[in-house]
Amino acid sequence: MAQIEWTDEARKKIREYADYIVAESCSKNIAQKWIDSVIKSVSRLEIFPESGAPYYRFKQLFPEKTRYIVAGAYNVVYKYEKDSDRVGWFTLV
């Protein structure tokens, strides 16, 4: 089972988007449901780390390793290191 590593950038993006959701909806519950759905989507990578599609935007920096999954209206961009069985989550776009 792959280990998920949450980067500082990923945590920052979640906070920013959750704050935006609260500001727009006036509901912390809606923001928390969104956070839970993102975490659920990312947690699937523990079992299926190569299930995301290649993310070509970062191909020059990380050839063959950068992938993404869809979590709601966002793409979760991550890098899977097969040798160490680790998933490093970069950001939401």
What's the CATH code, domain 3-92?
3.30.2310.20
CB of 65 closer than 8 Å to CB of 82: no
The pair of structure tokens assigned to 8 is 């500082």
Indicate the length of the chain as a whole number.
93
pLDDT in tens, 5-46: 888 888 999 999 999 999 999 999 999 999 999 999 999 999
- The values of phi and psi at residue 26, to 5°, are 60, 30
Is 0.85 surpassed by the pTM of this model?
no
Q: At how many degrees (to 10) do helices 28-43 and 8-25 cross?
A: 150
> H or E element: which one contains 8?
helix 8-25
